[in-house]
Chain A
């Protein structure tokens, strides 16, 4: 068949398909065509594929070939779209997806916990016994700031200045931006063969440990521990989970096993993303607790009690949620 007749014969079909595909690319509420018109889409697309193959096989002109190819690409995108492009339902993710993904990758979690907590414990004990050691982790001004923040006579523990509810909100914003950012970076560092994850876990562990050791040594333990123990249930666990996500990526790079590095990376990234997203939600909650509860003037006995409940809650959630009907 000659090119001109071929084009004349099939142009109506291409035009109908273009109309449908253009409409599909609009946001859902702006679409104009009714659902039953889309019923013809798969058939039209397959016809088009046929025409494109003919156009190539018969060596029709390059512009016609290109015109059909662009339409084929557009049709392929519309017909084989994955995941609907929408947001994953959040509730099933919280009740099932996230805790299950974490339990599947428990060994990464424990490894990350060890990398974070062991150095923290070590430097904590050392700072507790050696008053000068803290200065090799933090500089003088930082140590002074921390001492002011957790001074038992400071009505708002964990704050340098300002005791109003306005600073509560301010700190809430700060904790979100800062802590979730650290969580994301800890995850992303995993792709550099784990070096980034490792450094961030160690660094954050050392800072936390040395501050805890130092403040306990100078007798500020009550303000400090009652402040961190509550939100720490979510915050510290979440940072360790982000570390686990980073280690998942690192494992794919360092020891991909039976797959190529690229394939292993893609496989591990799926679970790693679930971990890091779940951890981000936990950090959001932690920021809320830290800004509005941890810094309040409530008696430390009550804070410890609430903290114990929060730790139990986190442990029960991560270990137990989504157990039933797992498959």
Chain B
């Protein structure tokens, strides 16, 4: 899911039709946050629903033997879970178990962890987002703005984003460095480095196919072309 087409892999200032949102920090760094769309959030909600149903059962079975006080406990328990289940988890870890499972995280618009008040606002307003049934209003508002915010997110100033995980680092192939002929821009050099880094993730045929695009540069075809590009990448990363 994070592998292909992840926009933050190539952070770019070009206006793109994608889900990356930029926020500039006081240090002058442009943070990239990838907002989560309705489908993945619906899945997260469904997982949470199943968990909540389980907790409802766990609460109501022992309380059923306790008479009036038990009924009171059940009703209060249901009430608390209905309204505050997401709040508790958002304050603890930034996401409910359902969102955690889908790799999502709730943040303020400025990329900081959600605090008590915004969390309460976004979760109380679920009552409005849910109307007329099954988050109809929430879905429509999510589709009408570029940050996929439902009504609760708008009032609270929150974003639901993908939790970024550090990429698995693969060492560059250990080819003997060969100096690049001529002048290349930074972007072009980066493409060679990226090709080297992806070595372990590509099949032999795909590697050869990709290297074929640059056969004019390497002057080689097939496997030999691949090796030549690795040599350039090695030179870019390590020098002589």
Contact = CB atoms under 8 A, between A and B. Distances in A.
Contacts of A17: none
B68 A61 contact: no
A286 B236 CA distance: 72
Given A77-B107, A85-B91, A196-B128, A269 B155 contact: yes
Contact of B238 (A2, A184, A190): A2
B41 to A, nearest CB: 18
Interface stretch (A49-57, A300-308, A310-318): A49-57
B75 A176 contact: yes
Interface of A is mostly: helix
B168 to A, nearest CB: 8
Nearest to A2: B239
Nearest to A263: B157
Given A49-B27, A66-B9, A185 B127 contact: yes
B151 A191 contact: yes
Contacts of A270: 117
Contacts of B236: 2-3
A128 interface: no
B79 A181 contact: yes
Contacts of B76: 173, 176-177
A45 B10 CA distance: 22
B146 interface: no
A276 B166 CA distance: 41
B121 interface: yes
Q: Classify chain B: how many residues form its interface, as a range.
A: 35 or more
B196 A58 contact: no
Interface residues of A, number: 72
B221 interface: no
Given A62-B190, A76-B111, A168-B68, A4 B237 contact: yes
A292 B118 CA distance: 35
Contacts of A169: 68-69, 71-72
Given A62-B194, A80-B112, A184-B124, A173 B71 contact: yes
B128 A188 contact: yes
Contacts of B215: none
B199 to A, nearest CB: 12
Contacts of A62: 9-10, 190, 193-194, 197
B190 A188 contact: no
Given A180-B79, A188-B127, A189-B128, A77 B111 contact: yes
Contacts of A59: 186-187, 189-190, 193
A49 B238 contact: no
A167 B71 CA distance: 9
Nearest to B187: A59
B103 interface: no
B115 A85 contact: yes
A83 to B, nearest CB: 3
A61 B112 CA distance: 27
Contacts of A172: 72
A66 B55 CA distance: 39
Interface string A144-180: 0000000000000000000011111110111011001
A70 interface: yes
Interface in A36-94: 45-46, 49, 52-53, 56-67, 69-73, 76-77, 80-88
29 contacts: A3-B238, A25-B93, A49-B25, A59-B186, A59-B190, A60-B193, A61-B190, A63-B167, A63-B194, A66-B8, A66-B167, A70-B167, A73-B164, A76-B111, A82-B108, A82-B115, A169-B69, A173-B75, A174-B72, A177-B78, A181-B82, A181-B83, A189-B127, A191-B128, A192-B128, A196-B131, A265-B154, A266-B154, A273-B121
Interface of B: 8-11, 25, 27-29, 31-33, 67-69, 71-76, 78-79, 82-83, 91-93, 107-108, 110-113, 115-117, 120-121, 124-128, 131, 137, 151, 154-157, 164-167, 169-170, 172, 186-187, 189-190, 193-194, 196-197, 236-239
- The 9 tightest CB contacts between A and B, nearest first, are A166-B68, A173-B72, A83-B115, A173-B75, A59-B186, A188-B127, A177-B79, A61-B193, A49-B27
Interface of A: 2-5, 25, 27, 45-46, 49, 52-53, 56-67, 69-73, 76-77, 80-88, 164-170, 172-174, 176-177, 180-181, 184-185, 187-192, 196, 249, 262, 265-266, 269-270, 272-273, 276-277
